[in-house]
Amino acid sequence: MAVIQGTWDKKYEGVVTTLAKSLDDGGDVGASVAVMVDGEPVVDIWGGFVDEAKTTPWEEDTIINVWSTTKTMTFLCALMLADRGELDFHAPVATYWPEFAAGGKEAVEVRHLMGHTAGLAGWTEPLEHEDLADWEKCTSMLAAQEPWWEPGTASGYHAVTQGYLIGEVVRRITGTSIGTWFADEVAGPLGADFHIGLPASEDRRVAPVIAPPPVDPHALGASDITLRTFGNPVLDATVSHNAWWRRAEIPAANGQGNARSVAAVQSIISGGGEARGVRLLSEKSCDAIFEEQAHGKDLVLGMPIRFGMGYGLSTEIMPLGPRACYWGGYGGSLIIMDQQARLTVSYVMNRMESGLVGDLRGANIVMAAVMGMANH
């Protein structure tokens, strides 16, 4: 049986055995899991290896690119600025970013950026991979662009663009980049080892993602909007192995962390704005998360999703409860927060599955954590 390291409350033994089984079965190569209740860790575990050859063990401080789980950090920054009265989700984006009004977008509101309904799921003009490290280029192109559909009428997953869009609003308000602001205002106060823009000094701790098998979106009958979103540039997961990718601030996709750090930050949401004696939001400001922005078939993902203010919300096919929210990352990472249960569950791994939406590994961890809570 796989060796699992870390600490856990014995009530959550099922979480430990779930991770061990996934490592034994080959579902996982290396992974970390964290469960927090009332903002306090009840599970903090890791196991497996950082490489596919299984020569180097996954360590306590191993971190990895978590893809779109990064978005939850971006959402929290926006919620904090709203809490401070510096950002209004219902104001036009152009209030903070005047150039954004071009292309008929003068009425697009900040909430449309948060809920993937702004019609800017990708770039119209061609981009190269390395262009994603050019903040000015990525944001100015989006500001000039016309929406791909009528903003506010439907969600279309803004897979990579969302981070630049929200991040530029944050930059215009704070005068600093979102990666720096996150480090100073969120990760720092919480002591969370999560980075949007990784210093070179931390490279030695990074586990490279194990890319999934390639998928031909044309063969799957993907829509034109889906092809345009994921085809410019085409993001092979191995792009995250590059130093330029780690240094860049790509606030929808290149956050580096582990389950402990993801849970440490997002337990703020589960705790109604506070965790471990640190308050970053008022309880009232947390309510904005549950303002439904879209509910229906997503134009990019091609499946029904319900978006609140950034975070995904409970649906019949994702039954989480009325005060729960979530998101995850390409390949399988996952974070779920439930304010009623004051529960936070995070799963971060290196072996990626090929689907755009998560797989059963994270769901199995969540189920085991819920069963552990029932044992209280």
DSSP secondary structure string for all residues of 253-308? TB-EE-HHHHHHHHHHHHTTTEETTEE-S-HHHHGGGGS--EEEE-TTT-SEEEE-
User: How sure is the predictor about 139, in pLDDT bands with cuts at 50, 70 and 90?
Assistant: very high
pLDDT of the residue at 219: 63
Residues labelled as active-site residues: 68
User: How sure is the predictor about 115, in pLDDT bands with cuts at 50, 70 and 90?
Assistant: very high
**Distance separating alpha carbons of residues 192 and 195, to the nearest angstrom:** 9
Q: Count CA atoms closer than 13 A to 206's CA, side-chain side.
A: 24
pLDDT of the residue at 136: 98
Within the chain, what is the greatest distance between any pair of CA atoms?
A: 59
Reference 347, options 328, 323, 322, 370; nearest CA is 328
Q: Is the pLDDT of residue 316 over 90?
A: no
Query: What residues contact 259, with CB distance under 8 A and at least 6 apart?
Result: 31, 32, 33, 34, 44, 46, 346, 347, 348
Between 221 and 339, the more confident residue is 339
**Distance separating alpha carbons of residues 149 and 137, to the nearest angstrom:** 22
User: How sure is the predictor about 218, in pLDDT bands with cuts at 50, 70 and 90?
Assistant: low
**Distance separating alpha carbons of residues 343 and 54, to the nearest angstrom:** 32
* CATH number of this structure's domain 4-374: 3.40.710.10
Reference 55, options 25, 23, 30; nearest CA is 30
One-letter identity of residue 265: V
pLDDT of the residue at 318: 79
pLDDT digits (tens, 9 = 90+) for 118-131: 999 999 999 999 99
pLDDT of the residue at 29: 98
**Distance separating alpha carbons of residues 169 and 201, to the nearest angstrom:** 29
The mean pLDDT of 88-98, rounded to a whole number, is: 98
| Beta strands, E only, 79-198 | none
Mean residue pLDDT across the chain: 95
Asked which of 72-86, 160-174, 309-323 is least confident by mean pLDDT, the reply is 309-323
pLDDT of the residue at 359: 82
CB 349 within 8 A of CB 333: yes
**Distance separating alpha carbons of residues 350 and 156, to the nearest angstrom:** 27
Q: Is the pLDDT of residue 357 over 70?
A: no
pLDDT of the residue at 1: 84
pLDDT digits (tens, 9 = 90+) for 262-307: 999 999 999 999 999 999 999 999 999 999 999 999 999 999 999 9
User: How sure is the predictor about 103, in pLDDT bands with cuts at 50, 70 and 90?
Assistant: very high
Q: Is the overall model pTM greater than 0.95, yes or no?
A: yes
| Residue 17: Cβ-neighbour burial (10 angstroms; 0-12, 13-18, 19+) | middle
Burial 349-371 (b: 16+ CB within 10 A, else e): bbbbbeebbbbebbbbbbebbbe
Q: Packing angle between helix 13-25 and helix 360-374, nearest 10 degrees?
A: 160
**Distance separating alpha carbons of residues 23 and 56, to the nearest angstrom:** 15
The mean pLDDT of 209-217, rounded to a whole number, is: 83
pLDDT of the residue at 374: 84
User: How sure is the predictor about 356, in pLDDT bands with cuts at 50, 70 and 90?
Assistant: low
Domain ranges of the chain: 4-374
The mean pLDDT of 309-317, rounded to a whole number, is: 92
Per-residue CA distances from 210 to 206, 239, 240, 258 (Å)? 12, 11, 10, 15
The mean pLDDT of 14-21, rounded to a whole number, is: 98
Structure tokens at 114: 């948060």
The mean pLDDT of 64-88, rounded to a whole number, is: 98
**Distance separating alpha carbons of residues 331 and 360, to the nearest angstrom:** 11
CB 237 within 8 A of CB 324: no
